[in-house]
Amino acid sequence: MIAERERTIDELQSELARYKKAGSRMNNAQVREELNWSAEEINFAETVNNLCKHHLFVRIKFLKDDWQSYLPMEKSSLYSVCMRKLSIPENAERQDIWERVIVPAIARKYKNLKCNLANDIKSIYMSMRSISVDEYNIDYCLCANICADCC
């Protein structure tokens, strides 16, 4: 019972820390400190980042509103997909590792991937120049053919 209450206190403290830092970007050291990750959990978070980059974000650009929910019985939930693709650390409770490591890691990685994508789109848009030649407007793309559809 005491261990359960201590776990609840830790969860509430980590949730409070997440809400405090919601508007600012934390570096990896700050995230590890705020969420009390062990060395094994840090390595596992890197595995989650790779899963996001190479599997999840490629297939799912926008996560559902309830993606953070712990739904072990629902096969189509993000929890189930992650548990099929990841091998969680030994002696780790599935719900605990989901709430403390996987969810924050996915949230951070998706935020970074979307920011990178937006910056790429912005740089392509900003590289477009419009010039006028004898009453005709011609758009030139200076993006060096990064994407085949724009040129």
Closest CA to 43 of 110, 101, 98, 100: 101
**Residue 38 DSSP label:** -
Q: What is the pLDDT of residues 8-45, one digit of tens each?
A: 888 888 777 766 655 556 677 777 777 888 888 888 98
- What SS3 class is residue 66? coil
- Give 80-139 pLDDT, tens digit per residue: 989 999 988 888 889 989 988 999 889 888 888 888 888 888 888 777 665 555 555 555
Rounded Cα distance between 71 and 73, Å, is 6
Tokens of 119: 């910056």
What is the CA angle 89-91-95, rounded to 5? 80
**Would you say the C-alpha torsion 62, 12, 97, 101 has a positive or negative sign?**
positive
Given a cut of 60, whether residue 150 has pLDDT beyond it is no
DSSP lists the bridge partners of residue 5 as: none
Give the whole-angstrom CA distance, residue 131 versus residue 35.
Answer: 53
Instruction: Reduce the DSSP state of residue 137 to 3 states and report it.
Output: strand
